[in-house]
Every structure is written in structure tokens, then in C-alpha cells.
Amino acid sequence: MAVLALLSASALAESNGESMRLNLTKGVTDISQQVYDLHMTIFMICVVIGVVVFGAMFISMYLHRKSRGAKPANFHESTKVEIVWTVIPFLILIGIAIPAAKTLIAMEDPSNPDVTVLVTGSQWKWHYKYMDNDVEYYSVLATQPEQIHNKFEKQQNYLLEVDRPLVIPTGQKVRFLITSDDVIHSWWMPAFAVKKDANPGFINEAWTRVNEPGIYRGQCAELCGKDHGFMPIVVIAKEPADYQNWVDEQAEIQRKAKEEEQKLLAMNMSMEELMENGQKVYQSTCAACHQGNGEGLPGIFPALKNSPVATGDVKHHIDVVVHGVSGTAMQAFGKQLSLKDLASVITYERNAWGNSTGETVQAKDVNAVIKGQ
Amino acid sequence: MSSAAEQVHHDEHHDHHAPSGIKRWLYTTNHKDIGTLYLWFAFIMFLTGGAMAMVIRAELFEPGLQIVEPNFFNQMTTVHGLIMVFGAVMPAFTGLANWMVPMMIGAPDMALPRMNNWSFWILPFAFLILLSSLFLEGGGPNFGWTFYAPLSTTYSNDSTALFVFSVHIMGASSIMGAINVIVTIFNMRAPGMTFMKMPLFVWTWLITAFLLIAVMPVLAGAVTMVLTDKFFGTSFFNAAGGGDPVMFQHIFWFFGHPEVYIMILPAFGIISQIVPTFARKPLFGYASMVYATASIALLSFIVWAHHMFTTGMPLFAEMFFMIATMLISVPTGVKVFNWVATMWRGSLTFEVPMMFALAFIVLFTIGGFSGLMLAITPVDFQYHDTYFVVAHFHYVLVTGAIFSIMAAAYYWLPKWTGKMYDVTLAKWHFWCSLISVNLLFFPMHFVGLAGMPRRIPDYSLQFADFNKWISIGGFAFGLSQLIFLALLIKACKKQGEPVSARVWEGAEGLEWEVPSPAPYHTFETPPVVK
Amino acid sequence: MSQQQYEKYYVPAQSPWPIVGAVALFLIAVGAGNFVIESSKGEDGYGGLILLAGLITLFTMLIGWFRDQIHESMNGIHSKQLGRSYRQGMSWFIFSEVMFFAAFFGALFYARVISTQWLGGASNNAMTNEVLWPGFEAIWPLVTTPDGTTTEAMGWYGLPLINTVVLLLSSVTCHFAHVGLETGNRKKLTSLLGVTILLGIFFLILQAEEYIHAYREMGLTLQSGVYGNTFFMLTGFHGLHVTLGTILLIVMFFRVLKGHFNAENQFAFMAASWYWHFVDVVWVMLFFFVYVL
Ligand code: HEA
Ligand code: HEA
Ligand code: CUA
Ligand SMILES: [Cu+2]
């Protein structure tokens, strides 16, 4: 009966469209369409078998009840029927396995891509690097914490919005090289039927060819610690020409930023400037673990408030932030943040929450540590 | 027998009544006492793990973070899974084995009675450790019951050490329990009780015990490697040192998949006892039931990586594990068909154990169907780590394993206490459970297909409606279990109508030959089985 | 089996030892857990003490439990059927031990055939090598890990080979000690059992020697990548089992001196010798897969 409910419910889903989805998405790629078809095929097969088996059972429950005066028969074996109901399911399974294998083979063939993106998961954000262009950036949850804590009303794309989505061209084969900086994450985009684990130290490959331009949303699909539920993925698929414009633009912006960075080495920023920027960086990068008030989570993430690192030797502090602490959850932020951001966030940590060292850290100090001086 | 032996024997055995007081339970070597202990322990753990599920469901009632912090939510998920699997289902089956296997094969007790007591008493301590770790600074285990590395190694908190050692001793307990069952079945059958005459519950437990002995040590190995990776600088699961986090998953699931059949094979046995009783007709296809069980067990060793399709295995491995997994449907199907054929042209009545058994057949099969869907690799890419999986395994575990345990309890409770339980309460328990459990787990299929990942404390808005219903179903199912608690307390106070030795009109088997309640020692001289 | 042959099965009465054993395991688990946490942080604490208390309790339990058991056995309470229960129980226990080692052998094979190869670019992992670990080559034994830690590989000649001979020899002496027991030749039994024990101890000494050599001279440690991990975990757990086996044999030795065991009543002796042979077989596997290949 419940199977019938699922059947009718999925029919309902077809008519209701996106607003209340009950069934698997058809997605926007040929592969995702095939996956959807496979899903429906096996589902239907299960429904049919269910109807037959439960049907027989309910008929028996009705006809052969003692209260209707049924007398028990005494048969308890029949090699013939037993062979039949071993062989038939077996044949059905073969019938499913063949198309499934075909789809699988197609999915696992990432050769000859047009565009390659290196996707790196880390607690709790995604990093995208276009292998053929000088473009790379982090992509972080953009929903306000106030919405999560029920202080503001939740907006339409609650938990499914990021600051910088991944952009890919339509109609081209995009290959994803998926890996991780820390624990295992899983890059899942339902509309493409792509889900691949991001394993630290290994690279998994997946690919897609998107047919329609649009904005697609997914999530991290492997338990990766505290904020696993807050690690969405957004992909924008653009027409190839638009895509090309976007990439060129980004490359230009990133090149400029690098130049700025070089200039910065010769400058000293003021305490206010550093603190202001530092607070922003801290909130978006560090607060997930060390908490906004710098008190950390006892036993899991150490406090920075009054900590020996944030009030002691500056060099050591920079070293910890830049290179991370191996064997712990503290990542190496050296390659994640710009020199300016590193300098300001370290300054912030040394002067916020009563850590009043009064010291400023400048880009060149950070650079010195990075260069190993 | 020498006279000295006679002497000792006489001293220790001359009264047939249970010793009394707390020592009875602490020092006991009696399979029935130990069975009772296991069953109560399992039930308490079920309530504990259920209470954690209630925390999960309360947090997921609405989108947004309301009641618990994400880190605590993860601890709830983890400990809920661990407690239900290792604390509720497995001990409950072991308890049933303790009570029933010796009686079903005409043995005076389990083969190794003292070790039997040891295996039980380890459990409360093991779970004490696990539960108390929740109160440590930084909290308890928060990496899922599957404790994937490196989340459980480099990135976990201190409680991992306690988690590892508590799993070690639980494992020791399971292995000893399983050795006991196996040896009892091999060595203690009454004269004439050949293998192919053994009741199916005994058969399924024999095979389950084999699985346990084969895979629990592998789990011990896995947790040991987690321990050394975290605390002693090894890199089994760290690529920098030449290891691989995915290796952890291979080792874990080599244990984990047989483990899920450990939690269902005894259930198959129970259903195979109950259905013939209330159909008043012998089990259809006894031999094929035995072979099917054995095939499921053997296949269970070569399908583990179906939990790991998204980890990036090479294509041929994905194919192999897909096909091997699908094959399991065939012997499982044989079992389902045999139950239906047993009912066919029987003379059916619908007492409470039978109601649970029938619900089991339907709902387990639904869970099996979703399992088959999960086995199809390309589609599993979409299902994996969503609520579709959560729906799948709760159908096979809650309406499968747990329902079978309830069926067993209702089936054998009169034999244990000598009194019929409160049938009205039992019926209430059944119907409330049946309705609420489907409200609880069925919509999980929908949210899963629509894309809700598992192990998240908060979700996007399109899942809101269903989650509300799921939570309501969850609370209702939880409350329904309190009816069962009330019924059990009444039953233990020995209220109710006295029952005959056979209890059920159609019941067959040695356990129904002894009086109800079953005397403290049964079959001290073995019965003869024709 | 006809009914006449079916003896009355001995079901022991109440016994305090199991619960003592459970408490012992509890203390061991809590103690070991805390000990590990404390030592990883360099703190002092009670972990070690609790662990010690647990081990003492376990030891007490074992003595008490086995004393009862020996008492029963010497009084001839044990029927043939009970003997079978013990024997079967012991064989399944050994099977579980086999599976425990299988987990670590599995790790060894995986590391060797899969993970290091993939890190080196094999199978579908060309990009893994190219992007993440450029320059890393998969060679077994893995003397240079992907992150550049280096170590030396342990050769099979020298100590390991001697150890193999020692252990194989001990299996032979153990077997003939058993033959001595079966044929009632007590002298043969005691002397060969003694030799077995000495060989076991000798093995352990050599093993310790090897570890010291590895740590001091070769830089091969538990931390040196997956080669060192599997090497020390496999040989270490094996060593632990040899230790346990030796202790068992020593206990048997004293029981033999006290005149226990005869051709009919010898379960404990048999169990110990089975255990010894099992440990030996594991070593042979180790020798091939860890050292030679
Ligand atoms: C009692 C426990 C139990 C049982 C019996 C099963 C039974 C099965 N399971 Fe399930 N499973 C779990 C417990 C269980 N599972 C758990 C706990 C998880 C999640 C673990 C985690 O990640 O936390 C899981 C996850 C899981 C996955 C991984 C999903 C993912 O994470 O992506 C897969 C994939 O293949 C799977 C498959 C199957 C299959 C094919 C069966 C088969 O045995 C089912 C066979 C039965 C039938 C098919 C129905 C009856 C048959 C017929 C009526 C015959 C005719 C039918 C046909 C020919 C179609 N299971
Ligand atoms: C046999 C095993 C078993 C059983 C019986 C259950 C029973 C239940 N499970 Fe669970 N579950 C698992 C095994 C099991 N589960 C596993 C292995 C996981 C995976 C963990 C992981 O991801 O690592 C999981 C995960 C899991 C999740 C997903 C969590 C996540 O991904 O974040 C959810 C969510 O709804 C859930 C819910 C429930 C509910 C509502 C019940 C109910 O059936 C429970 C009903 C029982 C009671 C409620 C107790 C009785 C009543 C009281 C104590 C009185 C108090 C009652 C009220 C206040 C109403 N379970
Ligand atoms: Cu990243 Cu979950
Ligand atoms: Cu499985």
C-alpha cells in the first residue's frame, strides 16, 4: 500500500513542479536524465513486484483466515515454484544491471574535457581553481547567521547561497578534479547527477556537460564536522561567450590584486585599518571554529582570548596562521588569504577581546614568515 | 562420572529454583537469567537511543537552529546510531538467543555459561563509557556511527580514545556471545536434533554468530588503527604517509555490511517461527530458507563497497560491487516468497506476534526495495548520503529488526512469564507503532530524493513541510513505545491469565513442550527428537 | 548420537568471576583511554593507575576463574561433551584472532597494492600524482613517503630469518611435547615444553633487538609512514600474542610439573598448544608478506 502511496506521490510531484519536490530531479544534463530514467525504471519494477507479493499476501490474509473457516493445507515444498521465484528475480536484475552499467561507464569517463576545475573542500567552504586560467577563489555560505538563529526571517535560498558561485560554460565538457584540504567532503550537484567525495591527498575526477544556462544548487554530502550542514555549492552555467568574458574579467581582477599585494609589502597600514579589515576576515574565516568572541569551543577548538599564541611571540602566531598546526584542525591559511588579510586578521586576534598587545602586524612581516625568513 | 563429581554436582544443582537477590543477576550462569538481562538492557538502550533520536527530530522539526548546537547534534546522531546498533538490536537478539536457543534444541543451558555472563556484563560498562564521554569537555564522538577517518582521527576530540576502547570491549562481548551460541548449537543439540531439523531461528543465529566472529575482530582492527592514527602518529588513513582515508572505509564496511545482516538474519529466523504458527501450516521451503540465509551471509562479505560508490573507486570495482549487491535480493526474495507461500492456504489468525510479523514482511520488503535502488551505482550517486538512505535503513532496522524483536517478545513472553500479557495494550502498541512509524520514515524517501543530505542540523526551506510531519511521526512512535514499556512492567509483575505449555494453538517445537513459565532449568536430561 | 551416550552436561552454579572480569575490562578501557589522552597532551592523571588496577583485576579474575575450572576438571566433572565445547570455543576464538590479523594484513595489502600506487598515479589517479604529489614514486617498501619522510626497509635475512627458524622449531617441540603427553611420556613432555618456552622467550628477545635496531639505526619507527605502520603493528601485535602464548605455556609447564593432564584430560594444554601453532602460522605469513616480499 505504501508503495502505491509513493507512486501516487511521485505522480503528484510531476505536476507540482519545483515548489514541493518529492521525486528525484531530472537535472539538466544528458547523464542526469539517464539517471532519472534508471531511477524510475527500478522504482516501477519494485512497485510491480510489491503489488504482486503484497497482493498475494493480502489475498491470503483475506481468503485463508481461520475466522472464515479456512482449513490448513499441508504442502510445504515445491522445487518447481522455488526455482521459478529464484530465476525470475535474477532475470529482472540482469535487466536492470545492463542499462545501469552503460550509464555508469559514461559517467566515469572524464577524458577530453574542455574546461578543468580543481575543486577543493575544506572545513567548511569550497575552493575552485580553473586549471587553464589564472583564476581561483573560495566559495562560502552567504546566508546570514541571524537567519540561521531565527532572528531574521529566512529567505528563499536559505542555506543554499554562497558568496562566489562556481561558473561554468554550457554545452562544454567540464571536468572536476575533486580533493580536500582536511577531512572528507563530497561535492554534490543534484542537477548534474554528480556526487564525488573530496578525499584529502587524493584527486577524484568527475565531469558534466550542462545543457541549459541557469543557477544550480547543491550541498556538501559527507559529514565533515560541525558545519557540514552549512557548506552549500552554487554553480552558474553561462553561455560559452559569457563564460569567456567572465573568466577574462576574473583573471584580470586577480592579477591586479596580486600587484596590489606587492605594493603592500612596502607599506605600513594603520591599526584602525588593520583592525577593521581583520574583524571582517576573522568573522568569515576563523569564527566558525574559534567563535566570534574568541573563546573557542572548549575541548574542540582552542580559545584565542588570552591564549599564549595570540598574546605571545608574533612570529609564532604568524607561523601558526600561515602554516597551520599539523595533526589538528588548524589549517594553513597562507595560501587561502591575501597578505593583507593575514596581516589584519593576526593584528585583530592580538588586540581583540582584551588581548591588548598593542602590536600591529604588517604584510611584510607575514611575507617574511611565508618566505621562511 | 566419579563420585567426587557427583558430590559437586549435587551440591550445586539440587534445587531447581532461582537463587535470589542481586547476586542472582550478578553471578548468574543461567541462560534464562542472562537472556532476561540482555533483553532489559537492550530495551533500556532502545529508550536511550530513542531519546537521542527525539533530540534529532526536535531540532529538525523546523529549519533554523533551535535547540542544540551543530556539534551536539552530530554527537546525538553518532551516539544514536551506535546505541541502536550495538546497544539495542544486537543485545536484544543475543538475549533472545540466550533464552530460546537452548530450549529450541533441547539443551540444558548454553555451552559456556560463565562466559555467557561475562559477555553480558561487559555491555553495561561499555555503554557507560560511551555515554559518559558525552559529558567530557569537547563532547563525545561526533563523527557518525561510521567514524570515517580523518574526521575521527586528526580532526576529532579527546573522547575518541574512550570511544575506541569502549568499542573494543563491546566487540569482545559480541565475540564471546557469538562463540557461545555457535558452540551451543554445534555441541548441545538433543539426540535426534539434526541440523536440518533445527528451528529456523536457531539456523539463522548459527549463521549470524559466524558472521559476528568473522567481522567483529575487523572492527577492532579498524578502531585500533584510528587510535594509533590519532594518538601515535601512524598514517594508515593519511595520504602524506602513504595511507588512504578511503582504506578506513574499506575496513569499516568489511565489518559494517555483514553487521547489517547480523541485525536482520535473526529477524528472518523469528518471522520464520511465527508465520507457520499462526498459519497453522509448516514453513514453506525449509531447506531453501536455510540455503538462502547462508547465501545472504556469504554474499555479505563481498558487497561492502556499495557504501562507498562515491569515493572514486575504479570503474570495475563499482560494477563488481553493484552486481554483487543486487544478487542479495535473490535469496532475500526467496525468504519473502516462502513466508507468503506459508500463509497461502493456511488457517490464519492474527494475534499480536502475527500482526508484527506481517508488518515486518511488508515494511522490511519496502526497505529492501530501497536497498536495491541504492545498489544501482549511477543512481546511488544521487541517493548517497541523503535521507533516502536514512529511510532505507530505518525501514530495514526499525520496521525490520525492531519489529521482529517486538514480534518475538509477544510470541515468547507468555512462555517466559507463564501469563498472557495485556492483549489490549499490545494491540494499541501495534497499531500506534504501525501508523506512526510510517509517518516517521516514509516521507524521508521524499525529502531524500528531493535532495536533503543526512547528518545536518538545519536544512533549506523546501524540506520544511515534510520534516515537520516526520518529527510528529517520530514523537508519536516514541510515545507508542511507552505502551510497550507499560505492558512489559505488567508482564513482569506476573499479571494476566495463566497460559498452557503450548500457548499458541499452532505452535510447534521443543520450547512449547516445557511448562509455562519455563522452569529455571530445562532439559537437564535431553529430550529425544524424532 | 543415541541417548545412552548423552552425558549430563555440567552447568556451573553461580560464579563471581565473570562480573569481576567485566569490571576489569571496564577499568582497562577507562584507564587506557585516559592514559592515551593524558600522554598525548603530556599531562599527568590517573589513567595509568586505573589501567593498572584493571590489569590486576583481570589477572585476579583469570586466576580465580581458572582455579575453579581446574578444580572441576581435576574432579572429573568435565564430560566429553563439555570438553568438546571448550575445544570448539577455543577454535572459534582462534578464528576471531585470525580475522583480527586479517584487518592488518588487509591494511598492508591495501597500502602496498592500492594507496601508494594511486598516490604514484596508478589506476584512475593520474591527477593525484601530478597535482598533489608531484615527484612521488610508488616503491614498496615505501622508504620515502609522499610528504618526504624517509626511512630504511627491514631486510628478511639476519634476525627475521633466525626468528622464523626459532618459531618454527618451537612449533615442532610443542607438537612433540604434546605427543609426549598423549603417550604418557612425562619426561619428554616436560623437557620439550620447557624448550618451547625458552624458544618463545628467545624469539621475543630477538624481536626486541630488532626493534631497537630499527629505531636507533634505521630510522624505521611507528611514525615512518605506512610501511613503518604496518610493519610495527603487525609484528607488534604478533609479538604481543607470542608473549601471551609464552605465558600460557609457562602456566601449562607448572601444571605439568604438578602432574596435571593426561591423554584424556588435557584441554588447557591443547588450547595453549593450538594457540602457539596459530601464532606460529601468523609469523610465517608475516615473514613472507612483511619481510620477504
Ligand atoms: C538490517 C539492516 C539492513 C538490511 C537488511 C539491508 C539490506 C540491503 N541494503 Fe542496506 N543499509 C543498512 C542496513 C540494511 N540494509 C544501513 C544501516 C545502511 C546505512 C549505513 C550508513 O551509511 O550509516 C544501509 C545502506 C545501504 C546502501 C548504501 C547507500 C548509500 O550510503 O549510498 C546500499 C547500497 O547498495 C544498501 C543496499 C542494500 C540492499 C541491496 C539490501 C538487500 O539485502 C535488500 C534485499 C531485499 C529485497 C530486495 C526485498 C525483498 C525481495 C523480493 C520481494 C524479491 C524480488 C525483488 C527484486 C528482484 C527487486 N544499503
Ligand atoms: C536499529 C537501529 C535504529 C533504530 C531503532 C532507530 C530509531 C530511530 N531513528 Fe535512527 N539511526 C540509526 C539506527 C536506528 N535508528 C542509524 C544507524 C543512524 C545513522 C547514524 C549516523 O548517521 O551516524 C540513524 C540516524 C537517524 C537519523 C538521521 C540523523 C542524521 O542524519 O542527522 C534520524 C532522523 O530523523 C533518526 C531517527 C530515528 C527515530 C525517530 C527513531 C525511532 O524509531 C526511535 C523511537 C524510540 C523512542 C523515541 C524511545 C522511546 C520513548 C521514550 C524514551 C520516551 C520519550 C519520548 C518522547 C519524548 C516522544 N535516526
Ligand atoms: Cu563538507 Cu560536509
Ligand atoms: Cu551494506
Query: CB distance B459–A159 less than 8 Å?
Result: yes
Neighbours of chain B (3+ CB pairs under 8 A): A, C
Interface A:C, Cβ pairs < 8 A: 24
Low-confidence ranges of chain B (pLDDT < 70): 1-18
pLDDT interval class at A359 (50, 70, 90): confident
Same domain, C137 and C228: yes
pLDDT interval class at A264 (50, 70, 90): confident
C-alpha cell at B439: 509517518
Tell me: pLDDT of A16 over 60. no
Same domain, A139 and A224: yes
> Using one digit for the tens of pLDDT, what is the confidence trace for C207-225?
999 999 999 988 899 998 9
Same domain, C152 and C258: yes
User: Residue B180: which of B19, B35, B354 has the closest Cα?
Assistant: B35
Same domain, A272 and A313: yes
Same domain, C168 and C59: no
From B77, B156, B173, B471, the catalytic residue? B173
User: Residue B464: which of B477, B478, B450 has the closest Cα?
Assistant: B450
Same domain, A140 and A256: yes
Same domain, C107 and C219: yes
Of B148, B347, B460, the CB nearest to A64: B347
- Residue B90, amino acid: M
pLDDT at C5: 47
Q: Which mutation among B396, B399, B404, B449 tests ligand 1's pocket best, with the greatest number of atoms within 8 A of CB?
A: B396
Q: What is the dihedral of CA B529, C3, C7, C10, to 10 degrees?
A: 10
Half-sphere exposure of C187 (CA within 13 A, CB side): 0
Same domain, A157 and A284: no
Mutation choice for A interface testing from B226, B386, B449 by most A CBs within 10 A: B449
Neighbours of C167 (CB within 10 A): 25
Q: What is the DSSP-derived secondary structure letter of residue C135?
A: T
Q: Minimum mean pLDDT among A157-166, A258-267, B156-165, B422-431: which range?
A: A258-267
Asked whether C196 and C242 are in contact (CB, 8 A), the reply is: no
Q: Is residue C23 part of a domain?
A: yes
Q: In degrees rounded to 5, what are phi and psi of residue A178?
A: -115, 125
Q: Is B317 on the interface with C (CB under 8 A)?
A: no
User: Residue C21: which of C56, C50, C70, C46 has the closest Cα?
Assistant: C56
Residue C287 belongs to what domain range? 82-292
Task: Give the separation between CA B71 and CA A288, rounded to whole angstroms.
Answer: 11
Same domain, C129 and C197: yes
- Residue C220, amino acid: L
User: Residue C200: which of C169, C234, C158 has the closest Cα?
Assistant: C169
- The CATH number covering residue A175 comes to 2.60.40.420
Last residue of one domain, picked from the residues C77, C96, C126: C77
pLDDT interval class at A338 (50, 70, 90): confident
Task: Give the separation between CA B528 and CA B148, rounded to whole angstroms.
Answer: 51
Last residue of one domain, picked from the residues C43, C58, C77: C77
pLDDT at B2: 37
pLDDT at B10: 40
Domain count, chain A: 3
Atom of ligand 2 nearest to the CA of B146: 23
Tell me: pLDDT of C62 over 50. yes
Mean pLDDT of chain A: 88
Q: Taking phi first (over 0 means left), then psi (-120 to 50 degrees means alpha), and beta for anything else, what does residue A159 get?
A: left
Tell me: pLDDT of A14 over 80. no
How many helices (H) and strands (E) in chain B?
19, 0
Asked whether A21 and B450 are in contact (CB, 8 A), the reply is: yes
Last residue of one domain, picked from the residues C77, C110, C128: C77
Same domain, C149 and C194: yes
Name residues whose C-beta falls within 8 Å of residue B185's C-beta, 6 or more positions apart in sequence. B101, B105, B198, B202, B205, B206, B209
Q: Model pTM? A: 0.93
Asked whether B25 and B33 are in contact (CB, 8 A), the reply is: yes
Range B483-522 burial, b when 16+ CB lie within 10 A, else e? bbeebbebbeeeebeebeebbbebbbbbbbebebbbeebb
Q: What is the mean pLDDT of residues A137-163?
A: 91
- The CATH number covering residue C143 comes to 1.20.120.80
Using a CB-CB cut-off of 8 Å, the residues of chain B touching A192 are: none
Inter-axis angle of helices B265-279 and B200-231, nearest 10 = 160
Same domain, A255 and A280: no
Residue A201 belongs to what domain range? 115-260
Tell me: pLDDT of A87 over 60. yes
pLDDT at C256: 92
Does ligand 2 lie within 6 Å of residue B53's CB atom? yes
User: Residue A231: which of A198, A261, A194, A193 has the closest Cα?
Assistant: A198
User: Residue B272: which of B164, B364, B180, B183 has the closest Cα?
Assistant: B364
* A202 to chain C, closest Cα gap in Å: 5
Same domain, C270 and C232: yes
Residue identifier of the C-alpha nearest atom 47 of ligand 1 = B368
pLDDT at A20: 56
Which residue pairs, CB below 8 angstroms and at least 24 apart, start in A127-133? A127/A181, A127/A336, A128/A166, A130/A247, A131/A177, A133/A247, A133/A250, A133/A251
Neighbours of A172 (CB within 10 A): 15
Tell me: pLDDT of C27 over 80. yes
Tell me: pLDDT of A336 over 90. no
Same domain, C47 and C94: no
Q: What is the mean pLDDT of residues C62-73?
A: 89
Q: Is residue A222 part of a domain?
A: yes
Tell me: pLDDT of C158 over 90. no
Same domain, A83 and A183: no
C-alpha cell at A323: 602554516
Mean pLDDT of chain C: 91
Listed by start position, the domains of chain B span 30-245, 264-518
Task: Give the separation between CA B28 and CA C13, rounded to whole angstroms.
Answer: 7
Asked whether B66 and B59 are in contact (CB, 8 A), the reply is: yes
pLDDT interval class at C7 (50, 70, 90): low
Q: In degrees rounded to 5, what are phi and psi of residue A118?
A: -90, 120
pLDDT at B16: 54
| Superfamily designation of domain B30-245 | Cytochrome c oxidase-like, subunit I domain (1.20.210.10)
Q: Minimum mean pLDDT among A10-14, A200-204, B205-209, C281-285: which range?
A: A10-14
3-state secondary structure chain A: CHHHHHHHHHHHHHHHCCCCCCCCCCCCCHHHHHHHHHHHHHHHHHHHHHHHHHHHHHHHHHHCEHHHCCCCCCCCCCHHHHHHHHHHHHHHHHHHHHHHHHHHHHHCCCCCCCEEEEEEEECCEEEEEECCCCEEEEECECCCHHHHCCCCCCCCCCCCCECCCEEEECCCCEEEEEEECCCCEEEEEHHHCEEEEECECCCEEEEECCCCCEEEEEEECCCCCCCHHHCEEEEEEECHHHHHHHHHHHHHHHHHHHHHHHHHCCCCCCHHHHHHHHHHHHHHHHHHHHCCCCCCECCCECCCCCCHHHHCCHHHHHHHHHHCCCCCCCCCCCCCCCHHHHHHHHHHHHHCCCCCCCCCCCHHHHHHHHCCC
Mutation choice for B interface testing from A184, A203, A227 by most B CBs within 10 A: A184
Q: What is the DSSP-derived secondary structure letter of residue C4?
A: G
Range A339-373 burial, b when 16+ CB lie within 10 A, else e? bbbbbbbbbbbbbbbebeeeebbbbebbbebbeee
User: Residue B381: which of B314, B318, B463 has the closest Cα?
Assistant: B318
- How far is the CA of B298 from the CAs of B8, B211, B365, B517, in angstroms? 44, 9, 20, 38
Which residue matches cell numbers 588435557? C266
C-alpha cell at C171: 612449533
User: Residue A89: which of B327, B330, B373 has the closest Cα?
Assistant: B330
Same domain, A162 and A50: no
Domain count, chain C: 2
Same domain, C206 and C183: yes
Task: Give the separation between CA B85 and CA B91, rounded to whole angstroms.
Answer: 9
C-alpha cell at C156: 628478511
Asked whether B184 and C9 are in contact (CB, 8 A), the reply is: no
* Radius of gyration in angstroms for the set of CA atoms belonging to chain C, rounded to a whole number: 23
pLDDT interval class at C269 (50, 70, 90): very high
Q: In degrees rounded to 5, what are phi and psi of residue A198?
A: -100, 100
C-alpha cell at B249: 572505509
Q: Is residue A73 part of a domain?
A: no
Same domain, A130 and A241: yes
Q: What is the mean pLDDT of residues A303-318?
A: 86
Q: What is the dihedral of CA A207, A209, A215, A216, to 10 degrees?
A: -40
Same domain, A296 and A234: no
State the ipTM, two decimals: 0.92
Q: Which mutation among A38, A53, A96, A186 tests ligand 1's pocket best, with the greatest number of atoms within 8 A of CB?
A: A53
Q: What is the DSSP-derived secondary structure letter of residue B306?
A: G
> Using one digit for the tens of pLDDT, what is the confidence trace for B327-353?
999 999 999 999 999 999 999 999 999
Q: Taking phi first (over 0 means left), then psi (-120 to 50 degrees means alpha), and beta for anything else, what does residue B498 get?
A: beta
Same domain, C131 and C156: yes
The two domains B30-245 and B264-518 share their CATH topology (first three levels equal): yes
Q: What is the mean pLDDT of residues A55-68?
A: 94
Asked whether A300 and A349 are in contact (CB, 8 A), the reply is: no
Name residues whose C-beta falls within 8 Å of residue C170's C-beta, 6 or more positions apart in sequence. C195, C196, C199, C200, C203, C276, C280
Query: CB distance A154–B461 less than 8 Å?
Result: yes
| Superfamily designation of domain B264-518 | Cytochrome c oxidase-like, subunit I domain (1.20.210.10)
For the question of residue B455 being annotated catalytic, the response is no
Same domain, C168 and C245: yes
Same domain, C156 and C56: no
For the question of residue B174 being annotated catalytic, the response is yes
For the question of residue B335 being annotated catalytic, the response is yes
Q: Return the higher-pLDDT residue of A361 and C239.
A: C239
Same domain, A249 and A277: no
